[in-house]
Protein backbone atom coordinates (compact mmCIF):
# COMPACT_ATOMS: atom_id res chain seq x y z
CA UNK A 1 0.00 0.00 0.00
CA UNK A 2 2.81 2.37 0.94
CA UNK A 3 4.53 1.65 -2.38
CA UNK A 4 1.30 2.48 -4.21
CA UNK A 5 0.92 5.78 -2.34
CA UNK A 6 4.57 6.61 -3.01
CA UNK A 7 4.11 5.92 -6.72
CA UNK A 8 1.00 8.12 -6.87
CA UNK A 9 2.78 10.98 -5.10
CA UNK A 10 5.76 10.64 -7.45
CA UNK A 11 3.48 10.77 -10.48
CA UNK A 12 1.68 13.81 -9.12
CA UNK A 13 4.95 15.61 -8.48
CA UNK A 14 6.10 14.77 -12.00
CA UNK A 15 2.85 16.01 -13.52
CA UNK A 16 3.20 19.34 -11.72
CA UNK A 17 6.24 20.06 -13.88
CA UNK A 18 4.33 19.62 -17.14
CA UNK A 19 2.60 22.70 -18.56
CA UNK A 20 0.40 22.56 -21.67
CA UNK A 21 0.53 25.44 -24.13
CA UNK A 22 0.88 28.67 -22.11
CA UNK A 23 3.90 29.00 -19.86
CA UNK A 24 5.23 32.13 -18.18
CA UNK A 25 8.53 33.06 -19.85
CA UNK A 26 10.47 36.17 -20.81
CA UNK A 27 12.86 36.46 -23.78
CA UNK A 28 12.45 32.89 -25.10
CA UNK A 29 14.86 31.12 -27.46
CA UNK A 30 14.56 27.56 -28.73
CA UNK A 31 16.50 24.73 -30.32
CA UNK A 32 15.77 21.13 -31.29
CA UNK A 33 17.89 18.08 -30.46
CA UNK A 34 16.90 14.50 -31.33
CA UNK A 35 13.19 15.29 -31.52
CA UNK A 36 13.05 17.29 -28.29
CA UNK A 37 12.63 21.07 -28.19
CA UNK A 38 14.56 22.98 -25.56
CA UNK A 39 13.50 26.46 -24.51
CA UNK A 40 15.75 28.90 -22.62
CA UNK A 41 14.56 32.17 -21.12
CA UNK A 42 15.30 34.91 -18.61
CA UNK A 43 15.31 33.58 -15.05
CA UNK A 44 17.34 32.66 -12.00
CA UNK A 45 20.31 30.76 -13.40
CA UNK A 46 18.57 30.81 -16.83
CA UNK A 47 15.21 29.04 -17.03
CA UNK A 48 15.01 25.85 -19.12
CA UNK A 49 12.02 23.93 -20.52
CA UNK A 50 11.72 20.86 -22.73
CA UNK A 51 8.93 19.60 -25.00
CA UNK A 52 8.29 16.84 -27.54
CA UNK A 53 5.86 18.98 -29.54
CA UNK A 54 6.26 22.72 -28.69
CA UNK A 55 2.94 22.50 -26.82
CA UNK A 56 3.47 20.54 -23.62
CA UNK A 57 6.43 21.84 -21.64
CA UNK A 58 8.40 20.35 -18.78
CA UNK A 59 10.36 22.61 -16.45
CA UNK A 60 14.01 21.54 -16.25
CA UNK A 61 16.78 22.52 -13.85
CA UNK A 62 18.32 25.94 -14.54
CA UNK A 63 21.65 26.19 -16.34
CA UNK A 64 23.44 27.60 -13.29
CA UNK A 65 22.94 26.38 -9.72
CA UNK A 66 24.58 29.56 -8.49
CA UNK A 67 25.61 32.83 -10.07
CA UNK A 68 28.94 32.75 -11.95
CA UNK A 69 31.64 34.33 -9.79
CA UNK A 70 32.95 36.47 -12.65
CA UNK A 71 29.48 37.99 -13.08
CA UNK A 72 29.16 38.85 -9.39
CA UNK A 73 32.45 40.71 -9.66
CA UNK A 74 31.67 42.45 -12.96
CA UNK A 75 28.17 43.78 -12.14
CA UNK A 76 27.65 45.21 -8.69
CA UNK A 77 24.35 44.06 -7.18
CA UNK A 78 23.92 41.10 -9.55
CA UNK A 79 22.53 38.10 -7.69
CA UNK A 80 21.91 35.50 -10.37
CA UNK A 81 18.83 36.59 -12.33
CA UNK A 82 20.15 36.15 -15.89
CA UNK A 83 18.53 37.83 -18.89
CA UNK A 84 17.92 37.14 -22.54
CA UNK A 85 19.87 33.98 -23.46
CA UNK A 86 20.63 32.83 -27.01
CA UNK A 87 21.08 29.17 -27.96
CA UNK A 88 22.80 27.79 -31.06
CA UNK A 89 24.66 24.67 -32.21
CA UNK A 90 28.12 25.67 -33.42
CA UNK A 91 31.54 24.07 -33.70
CA UNK A 92 30.22 20.72 -32.41
CA UNK A 93 28.67 22.10 -29.23
CA UNK A 94 25.65 23.99 -27.94
CA UNK A 95 26.51 27.64 -27.35
CA UNK A 96 24.43 29.54 -24.80
CA UNK A 97 25.10 33.26 -24.62
CA UNK A 98 23.50 35.15 -21.75
CA UNK A 99 23.12 38.65 -20.32
CA UNK A 100 24.29 40.01 -16.97
CA UNK A 101 23.11 43.54 -16.21
CA UNK A 102 21.87 46.13 -13.75
CA UNK A 103 18.35 47.25 -14.73
CA UNK A 104 18.28 50.60 -16.55
CA UNK A 105 22.08 50.82 -16.75
CA UNK A 106 24.63 49.73 -19.30
CA UNK A 107 26.68 48.11 -16.55
CA UNK A 108 26.36 44.90 -18.51
CA UNK A 109 28.14 41.80 -19.79
CA UNK A 110 27.43 38.98 -22.21
CA UNK A 111 28.71 35.59 -21.07
CA UNK A 112 28.95 32.19 -22.73
CA UNK A 113 28.37 28.63 -21.57
CA UNK A 114 28.65 25.50 -23.72
CA UNK A 115 27.42 21.92 -23.51
CA UNK A 116 27.93 18.77 -25.58
CA UNK A 117 24.24 17.89 -25.26
CA UNK A 118 20.99 19.42 -24.02
CA UNK A 119 19.60 16.14 -22.71
CA UNK A 120 19.97 16.13 -18.89
CA UNK A 121 19.90 12.31 -18.91
CA UNK A 122 22.94 12.08 -21.19
CA UNK A 123 26.17 11.27 -19.26
CA UNK A 124 27.94 13.97 -21.32
CA UNK A 125 25.51 16.65 -20.09
CA UNK A 126 27.47 19.41 -18.38
CA UNK A 127 27.38 23.18 -18.77
CA UNK A 128 30.86 24.70 -19.00
CA UNK A 129 31.01 28.44 -18.39
CA UNK A 130 33.54 30.38 -20.45
CA UNK A 131 32.91 33.69 -18.73
CA UNK A 132 32.71 37.13 -20.30
CA UNK A 133 32.56 37.68 -24.05
CA UNK A 134 31.93 41.44 -24.07
CA UNK A 135 31.27 44.14 -21.48
CA UNK A 136 29.76 47.65 -21.54
CA UNK A 137 30.79 50.26 -18.99
CA UNK A 138 28.86 53.47 -18.13
CA UNK A 139 30.70 56.58 -19.24
CA UNK A 140 32.94 54.55 -21.55
CA UNK A 141 30.50 52.90 -23.96
CA UNK A 142 27.35 54.28 -25.56
CA UNK A 143 25.92 50.79 -26.04
CA UNK A 144 24.56 48.07 -23.79
CA UNK A 145 26.02 44.54 -23.79
CA UNK A 146 22.83 42.51 -23.42
CA UNK A 147 20.44 40.57 -25.69
CA UNK A 148 23.02 38.55 -27.66
CA UNK A 149 22.35 36.63 -30.85
CA UNK A 150 24.85 34.50 -32.78
CA UNK A 151 24.76 34.38 -36.57
CA UNK A 152 27.26 32.55 -38.82
CA UNK A 153 28.13 33.90 -42.26
CA UNK A 154 28.33 31.71 -45.34
CA UNK A 155 32.13 31.71 -45.09
CA UNK A 156 31.90 30.46 -41.50
CA UNK A 157 32.62 33.74 -39.71
CA UNK A 158 30.68 34.08 -36.43
CA UNK A 159 29.06 37.42 -35.58
CA UNK A 160 27.26 38.55 -32.45
CA UNK A 161 24.47 41.11 -32.56
CA UNK A 162 23.34 42.65 -29.29
CA UNK A 163 22.08 45.84 -27.67
CA UNK A 164 19.35 47.70 -25.87
CA UNK A 165 18.58 51.45 -25.88
CA UNK A 166 21.55 53.89 -25.82
CA UNK A 167 22.98 54.02 -29.37
CA UNK A 168 20.89 51.06 -30.51
CA UNK A 169 21.74 47.58 -31.74
CA UNK A 170 25.33 46.61 -32.46
CA UNK A 171 27.20 43.93 -34.39
CA UNK A 172 30.68 42.54 -33.74
CA UNK A 173 32.80 39.88 -35.39
CA UNK A 174 33.86 37.02 -33.12
CA UNK A 175 36.93 34.80 -33.07
CA UNK A 176 36.66 31.51 -34.93
CA UNK A 177 35.65 29.66 -31.75
CA UNK A 178 32.96 32.33 -31.14
CA UNK A 179 34.14 32.86 -27.57
CA UNK A 180 35.73 36.32 -27.84
CA UNK A 181 35.34 39.54 -29.82
CA UNK A 182 37.71 39.70 -32.80
CA UNK A 183 37.69 43.44 -33.48
CA UNK A 184 38.26 46.83 -31.92
CA UNK A 185 35.29 48.03 -29.84
CA UNK A 186 36.12 51.73 -30.17
CA UNK A 187 33.53 52.45 -32.85
CA UNK A 188 31.44 49.39 -33.60
CA UNK A 189 28.60 49.91 -36.09
CA UNK A 190 24.96 50.49 -35.23
CA UNK A 191 22.72 48.17 -37.25
CA UNK A 192 19.37 49.42 -35.87
CA UNK A 193 18.16 52.43 -33.92
CA UNK A 194 14.99 54.44 -33.34
CA UNK A 195 16.96 57.65 -33.79
CA UNK A 196 16.36 58.87 -37.33
CA UNK A 197 19.58 60.89 -37.35
CA UNK A 198 21.72 58.04 -36.01
CA UNK A 199 25.05 57.96 -37.84
CA UNK A 200 27.19 54.84 -37.73
CA UNK A 201 30.38 56.82 -38.28
CA UNK A 202 29.45 59.59 -35.82
CA UNK A 203 27.42 58.11 -32.97
CA UNK A 204 25.75 60.45 -30.47
CA UNK A 205 27.80 61.32 -27.41
CA UNK A 206 27.32 59.40 -24.20
CA UNK A 207 24.59 60.85 -21.98
CA UNK A 208 25.74 63.05 -19.11
CA UNK A 209 23.84 60.64 -16.89
CA UNK A 210 24.95 57.15 -17.98
CA UNK A 211 22.29 55.58 -15.73
CA UNK A 212 19.62 56.90 -18.10
CA UNK A 213 19.11 54.71 -21.15
CA UNK A 214 17.43 57.55 -23.01
CA UNK A 215 14.47 57.28 -25.36
CA UNK A 216 16.01 54.99 -27.99
CA UNK A 217 13.60 52.15 -27.19
CA UNK A 218 15.01 49.31 -29.28
CA UNK A 219 16.52 45.99 -28.21
CA UNK A 220 16.63 42.21 -28.74
CA UNK A 221 18.21 41.81 -32.21
CA UNK A 222 17.81 38.46 -33.94
CA UNK A 223 19.24 37.73 -37.40
CA UNK A 224 17.66 34.93 -39.44
CA UNK A 225 18.88 33.73 -42.86
CA UNK A 226 16.17 32.96 -45.43
CA UNK A 227 16.89 32.64 -49.14
CA UNK A 228 19.05 35.49 -50.37
CA UNK A 229 18.55 37.68 -47.30
CA UNK A 230 19.50 38.05 -43.68
CA UNK A 231 16.46 39.31 -41.78
CA UNK A 232 17.03 41.47 -38.72
CA UNK A 233 14.20 41.32 -36.19
CA UNK A 234 14.18 43.76 -33.29
CA UNK A 235 11.82 44.83 -30.50
CA UNK A 236 10.81 48.46 -30.09
CA UNK A 237 9.00 50.46 -27.41
CA UNK A 238 8.68 49.14 -23.88
CA UNK A 239 8.77 45.70 -22.31
CA UNK A 240 8.55 44.65 -18.69
CA UNK A 241 5.62 46.88 -17.70
CA UNK A 242 2.90 44.24 -17.50
CA UNK A 243 -0.42 45.74 -18.61
CA UNK A 244 1.40 48.93 -19.66
CA UNK A 245 3.85 47.16 -21.97
CA UNK A 246 3.96 48.46 -25.55
CA UNK A 247 6.41 46.00 -27.12
CA UNK A 248 6.37 45.56 -30.92
CA UNK A 249 8.53 43.65 -33.40
CA UNK A 250 10.07 45.30 -36.47
CA UNK A 251 12.02 43.75 -39.32
CA UNK A 252 14.46 44.73 -42.04
CA UNK A 253 16.75 42.77 -44.34
CA UNK A 254 20.17 42.78 -45.96
CA UNK A 255 22.12 40.53 -48.33
CA UNK A 256 25.09 40.64 -45.96
CA UNK A 257 25.31 40.26 -42.20
CA UNK A 258 26.93 43.68 -41.60
CA UNK A 259 24.05 45.39 -43.43
CA UNK A 260 22.72 47.93 -44.05
CA UNK A 261 19.33 46.49 -43.10
CA UNK A 262 16.44 48.13 -44.96
CA UNK A 263 12.70 47.95 -44.34
CA UNK A 264 9.95 47.51 -46.95
CA UNK A 265 10.10 51.22 -47.83
CA UNK A 266 13.88 51.16 -48.25
CA UNK A 267 14.59 52.97 -44.97
CA UNK A 268 17.67 51.97 -43.03
CA UNK A 269 17.03 50.40 -39.63
CA UNK A 270 20.19 52.18 -38.46
CA UNK A 271 18.40 55.49 -39.05
CA UNK A 272 15.01 54.80 -37.51
CA UNK A 273 13.53 52.49 -40.14
CA UNK A 274 11.80 49.16 -39.58
CA UNK A 275 8.61 47.52 -40.83
CA UNK A 276 6.16 46.48 -38.11
CA UNK A 277 5.75 42.70 -38.01
CA UNK A 278 3.90 42.27 -34.70
CA UNK A 279 2.18 44.51 -32.18
CA UNK A 280 -0.18 44.12 -29.25
CA UNK A 281 -3.95 43.72 -29.49
CA UNK A 282 -6.95 43.01 -27.26
CA UNK A 283 -5.30 39.76 -26.14
CA UNK A 284 -1.74 40.94 -25.65
CA UNK A 285 -0.61 44.27 -24.22
CA UNK A 286 2.67 43.99 -26.08
CA UNK A 287 4.64 41.31 -27.96
CA UNK A 288 8.35 41.04 -28.54
CA UNK A 289 11.84 39.78 -27.85
CA UNK A 290 11.50 37.24 -30.63
CA UNK A 291 13.70 34.50 -32.05
CA UNK A 292 13.22 32.73 -35.40
CA UNK A 293 13.94 29.15 -36.48
CA UNK A 294 13.28 26.47 -39.06
CA UNK A 295 11.99 23.23 -37.55
CA UNK A 296 10.96 20.32 -39.77
CA UNK A 297 10.92 22.53 -42.88
CA UNK A 298 8.65 25.15 -41.27
CA UNK A 299 9.70 28.61 -40.08
CA UNK A 300 8.63 29.78 -36.65
CA UNK A 301 8.68 32.99 -34.66
CA UNK A 302 9.14 32.47 -30.91
CA UNK A 303 8.39 35.41 -28.60
CA UNK A 304 6.63 36.50 -25.44
CA UNK A 305 3.51 38.58 -24.99
CA UNK A 306 1.96 40.29 -21.97
CA UNK A 307 -1.35 38.50 -21.42
CA UNK A 308 -4.28 40.92 -21.36
CA UNK A 309 -6.43 38.28 -19.68
CA UNK A 310 -3.93 37.35 -16.95
CA UNK A 311 -2.76 40.59 -15.35
CA UNK A 312 -0.13 41.21 -18.02
CA UNK A 313 1.97 38.14 -17.27
CA UNK A 314 4.59 37.36 -19.96
CA UNK A 315 3.61 34.17 -21.81
CA UNK A 316 5.28 32.04 -24.48
CA UNK A 317 3.86 32.51 -27.99
CA UNK A 318 4.82 30.38 -31.00
CA UNK A 319 3.63 31.33 -34.48
CA UNK A 320 4.38 29.90 -37.89
CA UNK A 321 6.27 32.42 -40.00
CA UNK A 322 5.05 32.88 -43.58
CA UNK A 323 6.56 34.80 -46.49
CA UNK A 324 4.85 37.03 -49.07
CA UNK A 325 5.57 37.29 -52.80
CA UNK A 326 8.34 39.80 -52.11
CA UNK A 327 9.97 37.53 -49.53
CA UNK A 328 8.93 39.55 -46.50
CA UNK A 329 7.86 37.69 -43.36
CA UNK A 330 4.35 37.86 -41.95
CA UNK A 331 2.26 36.06 -39.35
CA UNK A 332 -0.87 34.45 -40.79
CA UNK A 333 -3.37 34.55 -37.93
Active site residues: 27, 219
**Distance between CA atoms of 26 and 21, rounded to whole angstroms?**
15
Q: How many CB atoms lie within 10 A of CB 5?
A: 9
CA–CA distance from 55 to each of 49, 52, 227, 319 (Å)? 11, 8, 28, 12
Contact status, residue 106 vs residue 135, Cβ threshold 8 Å: no
**Distance between CA atoms of 319 and 12, rounded to whole angstroms?**
31
Contact status, residue 51 vs residue 15, Cβ threshold 8 Å: no
Q: Cα-Cα-Cα-Cα dihedral of 252, 104, 241, 46, to 10°?
A: 80
**Strand, coil or helix: what is 203?**
coil
Residue 7 phi, psi (nearest 5): -65, -45
Contact status, residue 213 vs residue 166, Cβ threshold 8 Å: yes
**Strand, coil or helix: what is 214?**
coil
Amino acid sequence: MKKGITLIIALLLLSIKVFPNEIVVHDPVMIQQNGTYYLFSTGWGISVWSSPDMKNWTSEDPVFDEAPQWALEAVKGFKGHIWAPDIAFYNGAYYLYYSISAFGKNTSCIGLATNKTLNPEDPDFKWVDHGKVIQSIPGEHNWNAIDPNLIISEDGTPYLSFGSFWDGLKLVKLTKDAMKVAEDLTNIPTIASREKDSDESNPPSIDDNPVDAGGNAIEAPFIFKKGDYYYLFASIDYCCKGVESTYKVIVGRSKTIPGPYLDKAGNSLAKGGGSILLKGDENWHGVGHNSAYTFNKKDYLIFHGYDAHDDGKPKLIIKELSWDENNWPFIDE
